[in-house]
Amino acid sequence: MKIHLTMFSIVFVMVVSNNSTLAQDTIPSIVKMGNKAGDFVDHTYKPLTLKLNEDGSKYIRFLFWNQMWARATENNPGTLDVSGNPQSTSTDIGIRRARVLAYAEISPRFLILSHWGINNQTFTNGGVPGGGLTGNPGNVPVIVDPETGVGSASGMSAKKPQLFFHDIWTEFKITNELYAGMGLHYWNGISRMSSHSTLNFMAIDAPIFNWPLIELTDQFARQFGFYAKGQIAKWDYRIALNKPFSVGSGGRYEATTSRPVAANVVNDNWATQGYIAYQFLEKENNKLPFFVGSYLGSKKVFNIGAGWHHHPEATNSVTANGEIQNHDIKLFGIDTFLDLPINKASGTALTTYSVFYHYDFGPNYIRNVGIMNVGFGSGTTQNGPGNSQPMIGTGKIFYNQTGFLLPKNWLGEKGRLQPFAAITHKNFEYYNEGAWQYDAGMNYYINAHQAKLTLQYSQRPIFENFNKSGTAGEFIFQTQIFL
């Protein structure tokens, strides 16, 4: 891991030191190249907008973004590589996100939005079954169930991932304080981070447990439903009635520990969710559902919010005598967000976000998740293989991330630096004890969030026999550009 850390650190320092594409922290911006000819490079950013009338009140707006990851991962004990051999560490490169979003208004009374793309393509997974005519079905020996950690033979491929819709909805204005819409939408409840934009994270990514239904009863954090949203004075709100995706084979009784373990079950019940926040300082824009992770000192924001998600009889478990018991999914969150310029002259700014989650999926519900996991086998711990860890379950989670935008003169015209750190404490009912974990890293903003590089180290706990037995780490280097 020391070798990988040194490698990524050298790459990061070289880019920061030698990059000749210069930009200030604000958009739009025009910066001067430091060459003898005195030429200018225009970094002015104009949104990709197609005007449908002279004054631009009728328009189609387009957004494109790519997030690429290169990683060095300390694998969980017992991890196998693609050939079935033990592998203690792994390195890889992949696509975390490649997205396109378009929305249009030809009247202030209605809006249409579509958002599509791919996620999580690695050299071993993320593609379609068989990979098409030039795929490699059967060459990858095992694929791991994300919940059980059990490996099995698979014809899945890393090639030709399938584009799919992330969001697609229609919205109508009822009053200045009330908008309503329907479709496959991202107007989520629970917390601010449950509706977070993927364009402007402060840490390299979301902690994932902020999307507790991810890829089970939702489609990449979206569900079909009706929603209402708006702002009344300093209150910002969103509520929804959703029809979650129907998935699951039900829970079980765990004989080794003599207890029921809940899991998702097929059902057709509707769910409700919502999130309400009070904005003490400046108001945030809520035309779209995506909350900003860091404003980089361009706004003064201090919000406190709370939210929920309730899905009746969405899981079940089995008692010792074989009786099936149904359980509601009841998820709650309360959070606070502060983004504050510190020194206007130097451009410094503080960003901090804290959230407390209380999740109830039924007794001892637990899910292991490993983002872009390239490890195989079943592992020799309760984490499973690769970078998997207990991520979502019945219990309580506390999370905080804090970052500080360093002064402009540290890099001059070459951009801005923002060190950040995050801490997490998860206490799941399934395990005998809770565990702390942390992330730390640095953002190098070449042109604010439109072009940035991020280096992050993430530490995760390892569980054996329902207790924490150790830790493992992962270095991630990300390039991001969006237009």
- How many residues make up the chain in this entry? 483
Alpha-carbon span 458 to 76, nearest angstrom: 14
Is the pTM for the entire model greater than 0.85? yes
In eight-state DSSP terms, residue 449 is: B
Amino acid 412: pLDDT: 85
Torsion of CA 169, 173, 175, 180, to 10 degrees: -20
Amino acid 135: pLDDT: 56
**What number of CA atoms fall less than 13 Å from residue 260's CA on the CB side?**
21
108 upstream amide cis, omega within 30 of 0: no
The helix/strand/coil state of 39 is coil
Amino acid 128: pLDDT: 73
Amino acid 7: pLDDT: 40
Amino acid 46: pLDDT: 81
The helix/strand/coil state of 227 is strand
**What number of CA atoms fall less than 13 Å from residue 43's CA on the CB side?**
23
pLDDT digits (tens, 9 = 90+) for 277-300: 999 999 999 999 999 999 999 999
Number of Cβ within a 10 Å radius of residue 477 = 23
- Tokens representing 453 are 């590089």
- 152: Cβ–Cβ under 8 A, 6 or more apart, which residues? 142, 143, 145
Residue 67's Cβ-count burial label (10 Å; 0-12, 13-18, 19+) is buried
The two most distant CA atoms of the chain are separated, in Å, by: 83
Q: Which residues pair with 119 in a beta bridge?
A: 97
Alpha-carbon span 315 to 263, nearest angstrom: 5
Number of Cβ within a 10 Å radius of residue 445 = 23
The overall average pLDDT reported for the chain is: 89
Alpha-carbon span 413 to 32, nearest angstrom: 8
**What number of CA atoms fall less than 13 Å from residue 188's CA on the CB side?**
28
The helix/strand/coil state of 340 is strand
Alpha-carbon span 384 to 479, nearest angstrom: 28
Residue 6's Cβ-count burial label (10 Å; 0-12, 13-18, 19+) is exposed
Q: Are 364 and 392 in contact (CB under 8 A)?
A: no
Give the DSSP H or E segment for 225: strand 223-232
pLDDT digits (tens, 9 = 90+) for 349-385: 999 999 999 999 999 999 999 999 999 999 999 999 9
- 179: Cβ–Cβ under 8 A, 6 or more apart, which residues? 171, 172, 173, 228, 229, 230
**What number of CA atoms fall less than 13 Å from residue 184's CA on the CB side?**
15
Alpha-carbon span 272 to 424, nearest angstrom: 27
In eight-state DSSP terms, residue 407 is: P
Residue ranges of the chain whose pLDDT lies below 70: 1-44, 129-156
Alpha-carbon span 273 to 290, nearest angstrom: 16
| Residue 283: alpha-carbon gap to chain centroid | 24
Alpha-carbon span 127 to 431, nearest angstrom: 34
For residue 397, give the nearest of 350, 440, 441, 431 by alpha carbon.
Answer: 431
Amino acid 159: pLDDT: 85
Alpha-carbon span 183 to 113, nearest angstrom: 10
Amino acid 47: pLDDT: 86
Amino acid 42: pLDDT: 66
For residue 327, give the nearest of 260, 243, 396, 242 by alpha carbon.
Answer: 260
Q: Are 382 and 463 in contact (CB under 8 A)?
A: yes
